Structure 1
Amino acid sequence: MSKRKQQSETAPDISILGDNATLYPSGYTESQARRNEDKSRTLIDTMARFRSSPLEFFREVSLHVNGTGWRAYDNPIGAPMYFPGFTDRMKEMVMSSTMLQEKITDLSTKRVVVEKKEGLLTGDEAAQEKRYNQLKQSLEEVVDDMLDKMVCKMENKTFIRTQYYLATQLLTRAYHQGIHVSSEEVLKLRAIAQEAQKKKQSIVFLPSHRSHVDYISQQIISYRLGLALPTVVAGENLNFPLVGPFMQHAGAMWIRRSFGNDQLYSTTVQAYIDTLLQNGYNFACFIEGGRSRTGKLLPPKFGILRFIMDSVMSGRVNDAIICPVSTQYDKVIEVDSYITELLGQPKQKENLMDFLNASSILNLKLGRVDVRYHEPWSLKDFIQEQFLRSTDIPGQITEKGKWTNEGRIKVLRTMGYRVLSDINEVSVVMPTALVGTVILTLRGRGVGISELVRRVEWLCERVRDKGGRVAHFANQKTSTVVERALEVLGPAMVGKVPSLPEDTYYAVDRFQLSFYRNMTIHLFILEALTCAGLYTKFKLGGGDENYTMSYTDLKAQVGFLSQLFRGEFIFPTAGLDINLATALSRLEADGVLLLTRTPTAGENSSTTITTIQLAPAERDRGRENYDFYCFLIWPFIEASWLGAISLLMLTPPTNHIGEPWLDATATQDRAQLLGKTLYHQGDLSYFEAVNKETLKNAYLRFEEDGIIVPRKSPNLQIRLAENWAPTRDSEGKLEAKGKLWEFAEQISQSRREGKNRRDAGTVRTRVMGLVDLVGREGWLADGGKKKKAKL
């Protein structure tokens, strides 16, 4: 069966809009779509608002408060919740945890020993016993206070009914096309939830995280479909007056951003998670930790994931069902603030006024939300599978039938990246992502509407060919979908040139639009890296010889780039040889490349790729498809190059006295300043390259590769590893040679050519001069601190 046929027979979508859940059957016609669309609009328009129809508003609220039909939420699938005394019962179960009681006993005993050693206690056993009991009671009171702030308070069913109504009112004001889910996935999820309820097992939802709306959409879907609401892990930064208590009663579990060395707090969190999973309460945490400011998935955060895995690995919990979740938006409410943060402005602390000021956004039309659920899987089975695989590596993963510490870390990482891969697998590409991707991967200042529609159709085909999913268009014309996407993106992101024969659009804010482009890059990462590797030769232009590259040279550059971006993107686990062969085959089938193969010696009639050439047909059409893949990856290559070049700032000046350490955060800030200077002077093609998040990831990779060495003193400081440190000439100027410069040059080979970039000597001098100029500020600041310390 062809992929195109599979797409036409995919399961229908369900849209949740206010009180209405509408089934969109597969294969329905455009006229039906329009009728359904009109009906949805009517539903939105007639949803009672207090100002326009106060009596109707109170009537609708009353339906939720009293519980009519599905609103009653009387028998959700899962562990019982929303009854008086729920919180006290939960706290009592956590407090009685054997692990928590042992920790309290251990800390109390150790404190008695310390006080005795310091002479604060006599040798009298009765006095020691009394002190021990005081300490234990005090620690139990501390734990009780921790739990009061941490445990979600699912006490009142009337509250959750009202909360659902208010949440849908707010969400449908902003996302006027509602929340869409797959009927097939929802039916499967309900069946698994019913089975889990019988076994008293929890479903652990692990969603992607792009917006605070993620919390709301997940709870709305669970409520509307009759599933027990999950307890959702949330950072204490959101626990501000009025909003914090409201969210805690709706399922939020407040935890600190950092536990530090607080053993009691860490054990309390573990005991609470154990209790939830032991009693079959659904649970949710965001696999990326914080919200993605870039639009693509972030590397997994292992904090809460470690607690979940330890619950099952230790045997305290028999099993838990893992359910990766993808949440996609036509437009993310917070994108404006994300861009401000990524350009170097400090993140603003959440507060009530900012929350209330968001009300203006609620009157905008931001399109729809698409939530997709990967098929859930058993955590216990996953751990056992990893255990069986580990027998091939004795002593490293398991030893004498038990997990080693290294083994636990490896399994945890494998689990984290599997979840991310599952999320990518079910993610839906939204219309705004399609339009944003096309606009940012075309040469020229702007694009006509007919060309934009053609390239969106081409991109949809490529997404489907890769096994990806395009948002359900209800068989509408592509031109209609594009027009709606442009409307949602708005003139602040995509402008329209007036008074032209054809509507022509251009990127107004490329930085912000890149957020939506990044939602598609995971589908094409292998092809993008392959084309960037070929660019080292293809950028020379001219005759056919410069459009041909040996497989050996290509593999070397693609391998280098793959390692460079190993923490930035999620790659298939098949390995470099198979991944590169897969990408080349796809590009060949798409008419982008020509591959020359030679027979392999031996009995098997196999062939080996020897050279790769840009297909003549692709050259005739202006390299548009080849360029598409390059444009996807070039901003990230630029950011890595900027990160590598900025490391030259860590070279101490000739008159520096003392150790060569600089503050890590301040150095990254100066790297961003360097990037802005290089961009405005023409030595950097993409302003997205100064993205704070991408630069931070680059520095993490440099640390993993041993290029920079970190230390805590008390803030994080960094210096160059000795074998990576460049030299200065007799005048004290940085020299463009050495291991670090060669590393940056290898990255630069795959960079997009710029207006100044071909004059290598001049660029080398100018870039090095700017690096020294910007870096000098760091060493001056460091010298000032040392001078102040001496005084």
Structure 2
Amino acid sequence: MVDVLSTRLQEVYAKWETRTEVTRNVEPATTRYSLDDLKRAGQQFHRRKIQDKEQSRKIRESSLFKIKETEPLAPAIKQKSSFLQYCCNTCTPASRDLLVDTVLKQQQQSFGFNILLVKPGSTLISKLFNYVSTVSSFKKYDYPMVTETVLNDERLKDAIKLTTFEVVNNEACSEEKAFAKTKARARSILQQMESRCSDVLLKIVAWLCYKLLPCFIQSAVVLPSQMELLKKANDTGLPLVLLPLHRSHLDYIMISFLMVVNNIKNPLIAAGDNLKIPFFGWFLRGLGAFYIKRRIDPVAGRKDLLYRATLQTYIMESLRAGHNMEFFVEGGRTRTGKPCMPKSGILSVIVDAYMDGTIEDALLIPIAINYERLVDGNFVTEQLGQPKKMETFTSAISAIWATLIGHYGIVKIDLCQPFSLREMVKTFQTQQNKLLIRSPSERSLKYSMSNSSLYGTDVIVEEHRQLVDSIARHVVYDSSKSMPIMSTNVVAFLLLNRFRDGCTLDKLIEAFDSIRQELEFSDKDVAFCGESVDIIKHALIILGPGLVTQQRQEITEAVDGGQSYKSNVVIAIRPASILPNVIELSYYSNTMLLHYVLNSVIVTALYAELQSQINDPIAIAENNITVYQHNLLERALKLCDILRYEFIFCRPCQELRDIVLETIQNLSHTGIINQKEEAYLEDELWSKRYAKTFDDSSDEEYSRERDIQKIEYKLSLTPEHSARMEFLHTMLRPLIDTYTCSAFNLMKLVGRELCERDLVQEVLSEIKTNLDGGIINYGESLCVDPIKNSFKLFEKWNVLECHMEGKIKIFYLKEDYDKDVATQTIYDTIAAFKWTRNVD
């Protein structure tokens, strides 16, 4: 029995060795092994297996050691660079290379740092009184008063003399009495205007900001590279002119806090005299505010030369004394979330200060500030036509209390690249000289958007007005491009333009991811990070149930051929699409609109151009809907002209036509429209090549225009591209509806005149009627600011005439348009862009 088992084991072991192909020094197969020999062979095999494992372990450890000690390879994914909105390479090429070389080479944080956080000190006292210790270490600055310097300035003395003659003629009093009265008024104006900036008060407020801001703000973020840039600009010794876009009363507090905690001299801040209320007026004056009348000329048609001269002299002497300056180039806070058209009054004084040698140069710094939720509440009542409530002590206290108990998320501050005022002026003068040499008759420049210059047309030459307006538009354009994009902006934008009827959380996440990739690819300043689901939930909390509703819904699905059912619980998210909440939600959405507006213009122009084809069943069946590029271009430029008071589409030094053409070409790369290829015979190709050798360079522009007219695009009708077009088209529909209703109301002005308030109410009433009747589908069309901008457009088109009666604007139609046929033409021009396509 033992022999049988031994033989069987030998056969099995031999077969196993053959399969594993292990070469061993073994005896011939005919040798018979005992059980002891088999045991020894098994033990040897086991020991070898352990030795092999140990050797493999040592090899792996050696490899890991080499990996750890070796310099790692660069990652394949490009890291997020430090965001910076550069200044114009055409107008300020030298400034573009200024200050940034060393700053951007440093290792930067992607999303910035929170300026509300303070590192604990090293000593026990500094740890116990952290904020006090930090504030006491801030650099001390002097803020000299310029009262006597201003009163002794020759410019102001001349204004006093001129005003004295007016008083003598109007009031029939003696010259000595009129002079004393005028001089006393000049001193009174200056005392009510001037800032009394205090270094001690600034430090106290900085301590209060450290304590109070975290009560309602999660964080206040700025990029380290931008702060380094600001410090280097400060080290140049030139006056810094800070030009932020204006969204909230918190703007100037945040900027002053940012300057003080980074040991930079606080600027003097131009503020409206409506903020000169008890206690708070004194408080803001101590933080650097100097007060300006919202209406400089109390009587229409009569310029208050004394007030203008006092303000101009005060600003110029403050710059000469070494003060930095801050003012809001838009004038007031935006009520729609979009940047307002610039007002160039104070900027014109800054330019004058350089032109007359008061200052050697100045660094202009555009700034963009954005909030996840606006601290000031909302502007819904004003947009619905109700007058603005003036600030009072009681309203200020209640607003502060409501703010302190609220939750407003993140504040992000973006500083654009500083640029030299001197360089901008010299570039403009060079361009003007070239234009004058080429064609003296073209000395007159483009139309100036701003009608609010501190000077009148009788004082300032046209070239100077154009220069100031060009700088102002550069600032607003750069600031809007630099505007941080908050999570609330993206969520509101998607809900109003893609998911207006609601969507599930999963669908919203999918769309959010897609638009997030687009923004990051375009190098926009995306002010959020993390998982999309967490970002969206945070945004929904910040927006609140008044603007966005969330509801859990149970969906039952049939499974197993309808034999059983499966229930899923989903979260349905819907925007507030009814008045007045939708107006507030559109405020947050409009920040995103700036980044898509040109694409939306092209698609809207495409719809208007293809009205006869796009809903034609035969054309759709043949899949042959085409448009010539020059027709699309002209339509798009017309729409840009209609919306000229809503958006700044490009920098002043750029040609809008070129920018629109570039946008059309970029849109063709997405597949929405595809350029049709021309088929040429061999002889035609030869003749075209031969003709090129005789092309005259003087005909280059003509040849380019001829090529544009030949380019033809074919519209894509795939579901994906159709959905994208509808998304882009929806963005501008509320504005188009507003302008269309405004144009319709021109017919009601035939043979009559109305004051501005009554005319606005007429348009609002028309929009409400259309909303109730389902003709207009967007509640945010009911908005006062676009209505007033449409009036400016009609004035620009020489359709409307406006004159002042006291402080009231009176509108009436010009003679050529004071008839039904003419106003109908204006309506048809705008209503063509209201047309949409069938997507069912």
Q: TM-score, normalised by structure 1?
A: 0.79
Paired position in structure 1 for 2:737: 638
**Shift in alpha-carbon separation, 1:333–1:243, aligned structure 2, 3 A:** same
Partner of 2:587: 515
Q: Which residue of 2 aligns with 1:494?
A: 548
Residue 41 of structure 2 corresponds to which residue in structure 1? none
- Report if the CA contact (8 A) 1:642-1:689 is conserved: no
Select between 698-707 and 603-612 the one with higher mean Cα deviation: 603-612
Q: 2: distance between equivalents of 1:481 and 1:524?
A: 22
The answer to whether 1:562 aligns with 2:655 is no
Aligned to 1:185: 226
Q: Distance in 2 between matches of 1:215 and 1:7?
A: 33
Q: Deviations over 1:530-571 (max 9, x none)?
A: 000112226526415574333233223212101101121111
CA contact (8 A) 2:603 2:729 kept: yes
Cα deviation digits, residues 200-228 of structure 1 (max 9, x gap): x3111010001111121111111111111
Residue 291 of structure 1: which of 333, 342, 352 is its match? 333
Change (3 A) 1:704 1:218: same
Once the two structures are overlaid, the 10-residue window that deviates more, 411-420 or 99-108, is 99-108
Tell me whether 1:750 sits opposite 2:833 in the alignment.
yes
SS of match in other structure, 2:265: coil
Equivalence map 1:246-261=2 (5 Å): 246-260=283-297, 261=303
**Does residue 237 in structure 1 map to residue 312 in structure 2?**
no
Tell me whether 1:459 sits opposite 2:532 in the alignment. Answer: no
Q: Equivalent residue for 2:452?
A: none
8 Å CA contact 1:12–1:26 kept in 2: the answer is no
**Aligned twin of 1:504:** 572
Match of 1:74 in 2: 139
Q: Contact 2:365–2:416 at 8 Å: present in 1 too?
A: yes
Distance 1:71 1:297 in 2: 38
Residue in structure 1 matched with residue 812 of structure 2 by the alignment: 719
Is this contact kept in 1: 2:83–2:525, CA < 8 A? no
Counterpart selection for 1:591 from 671, 688, 701:
671
Partner AA of 2:185 in structure 1 = V
3-state SS, counterpart of residue 248 of structure 1: helix
Q: Distance in 2 between matches of 1:541 and 1:466?
A: 36
The answer to whether the 8 A contact 1:289-1:300 is kept is yes
Question: Which residue does 1:136 correspond to in 2?
Answer: 179
Contact 1:432–1:489 (CA under 8 A) maintained in structure 2 = yes
1-structure distance, mates of 2:107, 2:311: 42
Structure 1 residues 725 and 395 mapped into 2: Cα distance closer, same or farther (>3 Å)? closer
Q: How far apart, in 2, do the equivalents of 1:523 and 1:280 lie?
A: 38
Within 1, Cα distance between the matches of 2:656 and 2:160? 50
Q: Which is worse superposed, 298-307 or 159-168? A: 159-168
Change (3 A) 1:280 1:698: same
CA distance in 1, matches of 2:241, 2:552: 51
* Matching residue of 2:252: 215
Q: Does 1:540 align with 2:615?
A: yes
Q: Partner residue of 2:25?
A: none
Q: Is the 8 Å Cα contact of residues 684 and 754 (structure 1) preserved in structure 2?
A: no
CA contact (8 A) 1:398 1:404 kept: no
Alignment RMSD (CA, Å):
3.3
Output the CA distance in 2 between the equivalents of 1:188 and 1:516: 29
The verdict on how the C-alpha distance between 1:288 and 1:634 changes in structure 2, with shifts beyond 3 A counting, is: same
**CA deviation map 1:666-704 (0-9, x unaligned):** 111111111111111111121211210011001111111
> Are positions 1:603 and 2:683 aligned together?
no
The question of whether the paired residues in 2 share the 8 Å contact of 1:205 and 1:283 is answered with yes
Matching residue's letter, 2:272: G
Q: Sort the Cα spacing of 1:333 and 1:613 in 2 relative to 1 into closer, same or farther, 3 A.
A: farther
Question: Partners in 2 of 1:12 and 1:647 — Cα distance?
Answer: 45
CA contact (8 A) 2:637 2:660 kept: no
CA–CA distance in structure 2, aligned partners of residues 312 and 276 of structure 1: 13
For 1:722 and 1:11, locate their aligned partners in 2 and report how far apart those are by CA, in whole Å. 52
Note the C-alpha offset of 1:293. 0.6
Q: Give the Å deviation of 1:71.
A: 3.5
Match of 1:95 among 114, 132, 151: 151
Which protein shows a greater Rg? 2
Alpha-carbon distance in 2 for matches of 1:12, 1:710: 42
Question: Partner of 2:189 in structure 1?
Answer: 146
Native 8 Å contact 2:645 2:789 kept in 1: yes
Question: Does structure 2 conserve the Cα–Cα contact (< 8 Å) formed by 1:72 and 1:161?
Answer: no
Contact 1:329/1:370 (8 A) holds in 2: yes
For 2:394 and 2:189, the matched residues in 1 are separated by 27
Residue number among 253, 263, 266 corresponding to 1:226 in the alignment: 263
Report deviation, 1:179.
1.1
| TM norm structure 2 | 0.74
Instruction: Render the CA deviation track for 1:173-216: whole Å, top value 9, x for unaligned.
Output: 2212x2111111110110011112xxxx3111010001111121
Contact 2:624 2:715 in 1 (8 A): no
CA contact (8 A) 1:243 1:352 kept: yes
> Cα distance, 1:610 vs. partner?
2.7
Which residue in 1 is equivalent to 2:485?
Answer: 429
Higher deviation after alignment, 387-396 or 357-366: 387-396
User: Are the equivalent residues in 2 in contact too, given 1:390–1:398 (CA < 8 A)?
Assistant: no
Q: Would you say 1:203 and 2:275 are equivalent positions?
A: no
- C-alpha contact 1:541 1:547 (8 A) present in aligned 2: no
Q: Work out whether residues 84 and 226 of structure 2, in 8 Å CA contact, stay in contact via their aligned partners in 1.
A: no
What residue is the counterpart of 2:497 in the other structure? Answer: 441
Match of 1:127 in 2: none
Deviation at 1:249, TM superposition (A): 0.6
Q: 1:586 and 1:270 mapped to 2: Cα distance?
A: 46
More off after superposition, 223-232 vs 540-549: 540-549
Match of 2:33 in 1: none
User: How far off its partner does 1:518 sit?
Assistant: 0.7
Single out whichever of 93-102 and 410-419 deviates more from structure 2.
93-102
- In structure 2, what is the Cα distance between the partners aligned to 1:621 and 1:324? 39
Looking at structure 1, the residues matched to 79 and 832 of structure 2 have their Cα atoms a distance apart, in angstroms, of 39
Q: Identity across aligned pairs (percent)?
A: 21
| Residue-pair matches, total | 671
* Partner of residue 417, structure 1: 473
Distance 1:332 1:308, change over 3 A: same
Question: Relative to structure 2, which stretch is displaced further, 211-220 or 349-358?
Answer: 349-358
Judging changes above 3 Å, is the alpha-carbon distance between structure 1 residues 238 and 583 closer, same or farther for their aligned structure 2 residues? same
Q: Secondary structure at the match of 1:341?
A: helix
Q: Which residue of the partner structure matches residue 783 of structure 2? A: 691
Determine if the alignment matches structure 1 residue 648 to structure 2 residue 747: yes
SS at structure 2 position matched to 1:428? coil
Give the counterpart letter for 2:744 in structure 1: I
Aligned pairs for 1:322-337 within 5 A: 322-336=364-378
* 1:382 paired to 2:483: no
Q: Does 1:531 align with 2:531?
A: no
Please give the alpha-carbon distance, in whole angstroms, between the structure 2 residues aligned to 1:578 and 1:11: 26
Q: Which residue of 2 aligns with 1:480?
A: 534
CA pair 249-27 structure 1, distance change in 2 beyond 3 A: closer
Amino acid at match of 1:430: M
8 Å CA contact 1:532–1:630 kept in 2: the answer is yes
Q: Does 1:700 align with 2:792?
A: yes
2:289, 2:832 → 1: CA distance?
48
Q: Confirm or deny: 8 A CA contact 2:500 2:574 kept in the other structure.
A: no
Secondary structure (helix, strand or coil) at the match of 1:518 reads helix
How much does 1:60 deviate? 10
In structure 2, distance between residues paired with 1:398 and 1:217: 41
